Structure formats: C-alpha cells, structure tokens
Amino acid sequence: MTQPRIGRIQGVNSQNVVVMNFDQSGVLRGIKKLDQDDGKEVTVVSRATPSPGSDATFLQQLLGNVGKFTPGAGSSATTNNAGASGNAVGRGSGI
C-alpha cells in the first residue's frame, strides 16, 4: 500500500507478498510470506527506448513533408469520384 507524500513521491506504508512454489507437475510445494523488511532496494534507470524518427528536431518534423506532396497521386477512389462529379457537372451545366 502506498500513500502520496511531499513532492508527489509515493511512500510505501506496507508491503505484503505471498510466494508460492510449484513443482514441475504443478503441485504446490511451499508458501512463504514476505513483508517490507524482506524487500531489496533497486535503482530505477531512467532512459528512453529510441524509436525511428525521434532524432529529428521540431523544425525538421514540421518541414519534413514539404516538397513530397504530388497533387495527382491521390487514391484511385478519390480520383474516380472527382472525375465522375466533374463530368456530370460539365454535361449538366452546358459549359
């Protein structure tokens, strides 16, 4: 059980762990109860897992797609719909 303390740090009020040991056939062979005094201090390493593209700066991300857009490279559904509506408007308006 934890409780918030000064500076938003979680403080451990109590810690109870039950360790159950099973053999290869799945039969329970032992039960052991541990508390906060049995715990060990561990050091948490604060580092981030790198992901592809995370090395770009804000401006590189912002301007990264400039020049990569091709006006006629839309999906076929979009192109067909635009063409169909364009033809219908052209015929219907008499232009």
pLDDT digits (tens, 9 = 90+) for 58-76: 777 777 777 776 777 665 5
Closest CA to 70 of 61, 79, 58, 62: 79
Kindly state the percentage of the chain with pLDDT values over 70.
68
Task: Work out the percent of the chain whose per-residue pLDDT is above 90.
Answer: 17
Q: How far is the C-alpha of 11 from the C-alpha of 14, rounded, in Å?
A: 9
Taking a C-beta distance cutoff of 8 angstroms, is the pair 34, 21 a contact? Answer: no
Nearest to 18 by CA among 35, 37, 2: 35
What is the value of pTM for the model shown?
0.35
Bigger pLDDT: 39 vs 82: 39
